[in-house]
Structure 1
Amino acid sequence: MFLAMDQTEAETVALPGTAPGGAVSETTCPVRWRRSSRARRVSLRIDARAGEVVVTLPPRANRRAGIALLTTHAAWVRERLAALAPHIPLVPGSEVPLGGLRHVIRHDPAAAGVALASGALIVGGPEEGVVAQLAAFLKAEAQRRIRVLAAGHAALLGVAPKTIRLKDTRSRWGSCAPDGTLAFSWRLVMAPDWVLDYVVAHEVAHLKELNHSARFWAHVELLTPHRDAAVEWLRVNGPALLRVG
């Protein structure tokens, strides 16, 4: 297999395993090969959002080295993939969390846009536009809620973000750049309100202290009481948010 530098390619790979009774068996798993000019060794990780294994190859490594690493860690790979939350597509009938509460997606061709109802998200227009409309709605709602929280927290600390951006990150829920730009995963709109509140408070506190010093954590404690519970919620439930859409 040849991959140009800093490009990826997906395929299904058979992993060795042991069936009940000790017999040798094979299972398949989705693998995305990634060749990186910055990599120094062959490595693998689980991409929860895509539901696949990502194997990174440095410039001089070949595919056999990646297969060897996959084989060595086959049990770990199978366990991690099996533990992934089910994928939730943005289609009628699916249940999508918003503010930590489940909302069933319903399609009403006669309706306009997306409307919140009791335990439901009503999507209007043609059915082929449901996914795009819902994705746009969730991102707009995330932007709205985050801006309100950020404004309140920033006022308490006497600071102001340069701008607020939404991203679809795989590992970081929020970040604060040295120039005062705050960035958040739009998927946080699906988490409970108090979890979103903590993440926004955390990043706003960085506008005062761009570090994790005692002073920084004092600012966080001033802004929100949810630190420990929110961190634990994201550790346990955060990966499931990556499986939506």
Structure 2
Amino acid sequence: MLKRVGVMAVFSIGEMAVPFTIRKSSRAKNISITVSMDGVTVTAPGYVSEHEISSFIEKKRKWISQKVSNYEEQKKRKPRETEFVDGENLKFQGDDFLLQVLEYDGKTTKAALKGDRFVVHLNRGLLLDTRREEVQAKLEQLYRDKAREAVLERLEYFKSKLGVDYNGLRIKDQKTRWGSCSKNGNLNFNWKIVIAPSDIIDYIVVHELCHLLHMNHSKEFWETVASQIPGYKDKKRWLKENGPGLKL
């Protein structure tokens, strides 16, 4: 049953009371439903009645329930905040790496990747309040550098296979995107992709390279992606489910 609550609506699915945002749009041709971590949005043409919207939601009940449940599970699996202290495990290319924080007499904080460890050298005289900030800042810069290395390597590999070339590369701190491609052939990648397994990095790199051939998400675009990443749908699903947890 659909109940109006201000600008929102609440729909009962089993024991769950799921909040919906109802949007009327003159550009919409059909009723559509979007489920995200932030909630459920129903978009409908302006002439569609609440009864029709309610009926459409009822038809999609099972699908909505599954999607909402998946996002609830993701929230439960939300990783704890990193404290950036000695002995912690950090995710890097899908694996756990030990963080080693060592004190020394040098004035500059240094971070390096050594085998399966991240080693940070920290001035022993630093105040406790500033230690975490120092370690976090140096590790983030190191992750950015490693992301550039990983992306460059995979770009070189896949661009020759696809017969394309790009203009420029930037590693950025993007909040909602893992990568992007401009009409000028410039590629941008989120530095946090280096936290993901290598096969996910490959998918993101190929995705953006394919935009150099198809600046859309057409059938031809996805066929080109599939030519390099046959299981791209699994990678895409993994990224959607686990992407929010890819953080340092």
TM range (shorter): 0.5 to 0.7
Alignment counterpart, residue 192 of structure 2, candidates 183, 187, 192: 187
1:46–1:229 CA distance, 2 compared to 1 (3 A): closer
Which residue is equivalent to 2:32? none
Alignment counterpart, residue 158 of structure 1, candidates 159, 163, 175: 163
Q: Is the 8 A contact 1:139 1:186 kept in 2?
A: yes
Q: Is the 8 A contact 1:91 1:131 kept in 2?
A: no
Which residue is equivalent to 1:108? 102
The structure number with the bigger radius of gyration is 2
Alignment of 1:1-245 (within 5 A): 84-110=78-104, 113-126=110-123, 128=131, 129-242=134-247, 244=248
In the alignment, the residues of structure 2 paired with residue 89 and residue 196 of structure 1 have an alpha-carbon distance, to the nearest angstrom, of 26
In the alignment, the residues of structure 1 paired with residue 83 and residue 183 of structure 2 have an alpha-carbon distance, to the nearest angstrom, of 36
Q: Deviation digits for residues 64-88 of structure 1, max 9, x if unmatched?
A: xxxxxxxxxxxxxxx7866633222
1:83–1:145 CA distance, 2 compared to 1 (3 A): closer
1:131–1:203 CA distance, 2 compared to 1 (3 A): same
1:234–1:46 CA distance, 2 compared to 1 (3 A): closer
Deviation at 1:137, TM superposition (A): 0.5
In the alignment, the residues of structure 1 paired with residue 121 and residue 81 of structure 2 have an alpha-carbon distance, to the nearest angstrom, of 23
Q: Deviation digits for residues 194-231 of structure 1, max 9, x if unmatched?
A: 00010000000101111112221122122223412211
Q: Is the 8 A contact 1:194 1:226 kept in 2?
A: no
Deviation at 1:125, TM superposition (A): 3.6
TM-score relative to the length of structure 2? 0.61
* Secondary structure class of the residue paired with 1:178: coil
Q: Is the 8 A contact 1:157 1:208 kept in 2?
A: no
In the alignment, the residues of structure 2 paired with residue 118 and residue 157 of structure 1 have an alpha-carbon distance, to the nearest angstrom, of 32
Q: Is the 8 A contact 2:112 2:142 kept in 1?
A: no
Q: Which amino acid aligns with 2:177?
A: R
Q: Which amino acid aligns with 1:228?
A: K
Q: Which amino acid aligns with 1:101?
A: D
Q: Is the 8 A contact 2:171 2:189 kept in 1?
A: yes
Deviation at 1:46, TM superposition (A): 6.9
Q: Is the 8 A contact 1:162 1:180 kept in 2?
A: yes
Higher relative contact order (CA 8 A, sep 6+): 1
1:122–1:186 CA distance, 2 compared to 1 (3 A): same
Aligned residues with identical type, % of pairs? 30
In the alignment, the residues of structure 2 paired with residue 90 and residue 233 of structure 1 have an alpha-carbon distance, to the nearest angstrom, of 26
In the alignment, the residues of structure 2 paired with residue 82 and residue 100 of structure 1 have an alpha-carbon distance, to the nearest angstrom, of 20
* Secondary structure class of the residue paired with 1:121: strand
RMSD: 2.7
- Unaligned runs of 5+ residues in structure 1 are 1-44, 48-78
- Unaligned runs of 5+ residues in structure 2 are 1-35, 39-71
In the alignment, the residues of structure 2 paired with residue 92 and residue 226 of structure 1 have an alpha-carbon distance, to the nearest angstrom, of 38
Deviation at 1:167, TM superposition (A): 1.8
1:183–1:118 CA distance, 2 compared to 1 (3 A): same
Q: Which amino acid aligns with 2:245?
A: A
Deviation at 1:132, TM superposition (A): 1.9
Deviation at 1:118, TM superposition (A): 4.5
